[in-house]
Amino acid sequence: LEDRFNWRYHYPYIFLNDEDFTEEFKEGIRSITESPVYFGKLPKEHWGLSPYVTEEKVKEALERNRDRYLYGGSYSYRLMCRYQSGFIYKHPLLKDLDYYWRIEPDVHYYCDLPYDPFKYMRDNKLVYGYTISPVEKPETVETFWDTTRKWILENPDYLQDKSFIHWVVNEKGRYTTCHFWSNFEIVDLSFYRSEAYESYFEHLDRAGGFFYERWGDAPVHSMAAAVLLRKEQIHWFEDIGYHHPGYSHCPKNPEMAARCVCGGGSDYMYRSMCSRRFGEVGNIFKDQVLELAALPDKK
């Protein structure tokens, strides 16, 4: 990311961890960038078991799901998903930021980016930006849509006049499991800080699905964006070639591709059902959202 983009703009890097970073790690990071770098530790009240679940039931759930799917038995993975869903934007080091770009270890950026995506987001009144949109494993989110639709019906005042919910829930009320892969996201943080999003996260946390199932921050962020935003507020950064273990994307557009160095198997987004659906469906009106949420949950 430094070589592809930030050497031009010198936006600050913020590294967060549940433990203190070593001085060796800090020195290593500072040696490869001239941008400001900040290191923070997660507040204990943000990283831990939800007050709405019990240790005994969480242990039972971890054992039950251990062999059902990836990270099925991982407690730390669930802590991470809950933190990314409802607390990262509350960290003191992020309090003065209007936008953030999430970056993770073991990712690769394939393309030079000759413009400022934060400015692009602001100038175009965009709220959420992504690169890859896969489907989630249904076993990890068995009660997620049912929990969400109950929140929608209880909180209709939080909805805009139009919503992009049809991307994540089809016309028959079935959850598509489509989501934005949130290991990359560029977000207007006023969205996560909003009363609507905070209410939604609190509702999910009370339901216990972060621990009893394996609700990830990607489905949570994506459902919130689809329900609470309009399609024109969400942007696919097609020109940002990106790899995270599991999926890769590189642009096919010749003008975009000229700035990239890509390996094989980087055409996922041009084969993705969720990408295709994103192009096919549009916004629906608020009363239609409520009608959709009132349909029985169809597994």
Neighbours of 138 (CB within 10 A): 12
Instruction: Please name the helix (run of DSSP H) or strand (run of DSSP E) that holds residue 100, with its range, or none.
Output: strand 99-102
Catalytic residues: 185
pLDDT at 4: 94
Q: What is the pLDDT of residue 296?
A: 82
> Would you state the pLDDT for residue 266?
85
Run means of pLDDT, 10 residues per run, the chain, 299 residues: 95 97 97 97 96 98 97 98 98 97 95 97 98 97 98 98 98 97 98 98 98 98 98 98 94 95 86 97 98 83
**Helix 144-154 with 217-228: angle, nearest 10 deg:** 30
> Can you give the pLDDT at residue 299?
57
Tell me if 103 sits within 8 A of 211, measured CB to CB.
no
Is residue 230 classed exposed, middle or buried when 0-12, 13-18 and 19+ CB atoms within 10 A define those classes? middle
- pTM equals 0.96
